[in-house]
Amino acid sequence: MSYTAVDTTIEHVDVLIIGAGISGIGAAYYLQREHPGRSYAILEARAATGGTWDLFRYPGIRSDSDLHTFGYEFKPWRDEDAIATADKILAYLRETAAENGIDRKIRFHHKVHGASWSSADARWVVDIEQTDTGTRTQISANWLFCAGGYYRYDEGYTPHFEGRERFTGQIVHPQHWPEDLDYTGKKVVIIGSGATAVTLLPAMAGRAGHVTMLQRSPTYIMPVPSKDVIANTAQKVFGGKRGYALARRKNILQQRAVYEFCQKYPTVARKVIRYLNAKQLPENYPVDEHFSPTYNPWDQRLCAVPDSDLFKAIKNGSASVVTDRIATFTEKGILLESGRELDADIIVTATGLNLQAFGGISLTVDGEPVNMPDHVAYKGMMLSDVPNFAYAIGYTNSSWTLKVGLLCEHLCRLLTYMDAHGYDTARPVLDDPGMPTRPLLDFGAGYVQRAVDQLPRQGAGQPWLTSMSYYTDVKSLRDGDVVDPALKLTSSADLPSRVVVPA
């Protein structure tokens, strides 16, 4: 076997974290806490920290999970609002980075295009573009941690709309919201029924002339209080740190209980949600037409509306919901298949995300390209036959950060084990190539289904199953064994002498 030598003149770090959002900042915290002697850097393609919470600028952008579970376990969320706006979340993330010196490790305008693994040298060589100057550079690392989420930052999803070019008003996608967009007194139609649409409707209704949410089919919507009285009281009584821990534990249990109830008793859950919706809406409102999906609760993610803001906008007449299909755009709005026409000055296409595996980075292992669908997720954090590569993908049925924290803890435990036993390479190996697999994100949302063939797979059992249960993950990632027969640990020092050939 021949190997390509790594250029030892390029900069080297022990761990390279890609992405300076909530996952990347969290990963850096755990790494420097558990392995203070390890060098690391964070590469961020954009000009600021925060990821999603800095990218999206549309009106009303907020969390759809409570911040006692969406926040970091190690840093209490002290604001009274449990469902928080993007500016508060962004301040929390940046404060976390500054308090722990993580901000000094971030390199902005550093977009990663590809990474090549050399088994002989037990390291990655990463190809980087400095987007502010156009300069190309490289960094080598023993480990890559991909914390860039799973959707494209540069492009949201917009389906083909017949007659779009005929519309004389303005068409906006929430992922690229114009800073100077003035919708005061205007007729706004929001296409979509997901988390973005149900956030936009009440946020715009106060200033717009009227806001219509046009949906092809309904979504389950749950009214929730924006303030968690129990959590806030716990922090006042027991102090910030202990009170936060208690609130976090309570909300984790509550999230899981709601999810499992919906899974076990879907008919009852449908009735409960319908009852809660009907209570908030005007008398004789067609609840079933606009708020009763054909699928069961939690087959897709439930949308939370803080303090029933969406229902209040409908009730006071500043907003409405229309359930129909689009026939074509017209000069003055949208013609529906029913024959009804919706007049609009502004159309907002809240039609979803474009998923992308690991920021679109191209990976090669010893010269062989990594085709993502050919690889299986190991413990929801590594990929089969891809050495020293970890990633952060959170829960789809609970707060994202809960899983990311556990993944980071487990990776740090693995690094400790490898140090103690003299290993420098960890490679998950799938011994049974005939093992049945299924999509990595086994979730019914449209944005997930569109990208199934671009993502890795998962298996039917551990360690190849990507768990969506916090309690299961605590047992396996926090308390379980670090190594198992599927994880092959080796040392590059044990490899035969290599012959260096030109790259």
Q: What are the helix (H) ranges across 281-308?
A: 287-291
Please report which confidence band the pLDDT of residue 500 belongs to, taking 50, 70 and 90 as the band edges: very low
442, 467 in Cβ contact below 8 A?
Answer: no
Handedness of CA 238, 84, 217, 187 (dihedral sign): positive
311, 304 in Cβ contact below 8 A?
Answer: no
Q: Supply the Cα-derived Rg of the chain in whole angstroms.
A: 24
Please report which confidence band the pLDDT of residue 152 belongs to, taking 50, 70 and 90 as the band edges: confident
Q: Which residue has 């050919």 as its token pair? A: 374
Residue 9, pLDDT score: 78
Q: Can you point out the beta strands (E) in 261-397?
A: 303-306, 319-323, 326-329, 333-336, 341-343, 346-349, 353-355, 362-365, 368-369, 377-378, 382-383, 389-391
Looking only at the bridges linking them, the beta strands covering 135-146 and 389-391 are parallel
Handedness of CA 84, 85, 89, 95 (dihedral sign): negative
State yes or no: pLDDT of 4 exceeds 60.
Answer: no
Residue 8, pLDDT score: 60
Q: How much is the average pLDDT of 223-237?
A: 96
Q: How much is the average pLDDT of 221-230?
A: 96
Residue 413: both structure tokens together: 């435990």
Other CB atoms within 10 A of residue 443 CB:
17
288, 253 in Cβ contact below 8 A?
Answer: no
Question: What's the order of all strands across the beta sheet hosting 170-172?
Answer: 170-172, 346-349, 187-191, 210-215, 319-323
Q: Which residues are 306's β-sheet partners?
A: 224
Residue 473, pLDDT score: 96
Other CB atoms within 10 A of residue 87 CB:
12
Strand (E) or helix (H) holding 258: helix 240-264
Residue 496, pLDDT score: 52
State yes or no: pLDDT of 499 exceeds 60.
Answer: no
Q: What is the mean pLDDT of the chain?
A: 93
What's the whole-model pTM score? 0.93
Q: Three-state SS across 59-92?
A: CCCECCCCHHHHCCCCCCCCCCECCCEHHHHHHH
Residue 433: both structure tokens together: 């190539």
Looking only at the bridges linking them, the beta strands covering 11-18 and 135-146 are parallel
Q: How much is the average pLDDT of 118-132?
A: 96
- DSSP tally for the chain: helices H, then strands E: 13, 29
| Angstrom distance (rounded) from CA 493 to CA 422 | 10
Chain segment 429-484, per-residue pLDDT in tens = 998 888 999 988 877 677 777 777 888 999 988 999 999 999 999 999 999 999 99
| Angstrom distance (rounded) from CA 50 to CA 88 | 11
Handedness of CA 418, 422, 426, 430 (dihedral sign): negative
Chain segment 81-100, per-residue pLDDT in tens = 999 999 999 999 999 999 99
| Angstrom distance (rounded) from CA 206 to CA 223 | 19
266, 296 in Cβ contact below 8 A?
Answer: yes
Instruction: Mark residue 366 as left, alpha or beta (left: phi above 0; alpha: psi -120 to 50; beta: remaining).
Output: left
Q: Which residues are 4's β-sheet partners?
A: 501
State yes or no: pLDDT of 501 exceeds 80.
Answer: no
Residue 3, pLDDT score: 40
Q: Which residues are 36's β-sheet partners?
A: none
213, 371 in Cβ contact below 8 A?
Answer: no
Residue 449, pLDDT score: 76
Chain segment 366-398, per-residue pLDDT in tens = 999 999 999 999 999 999 999 999 999 999 889
The percent of residues above 70 in pLDDT, for the chain, comes to 96
State yes or no: pLDDT of 211 exceeds 90.
Answer: yes
Handedness of CA 330, 334, 337, 340 (dihedral sign): negative
| Angstrom distance (rounded) from CA 460 to CA 471 | 18
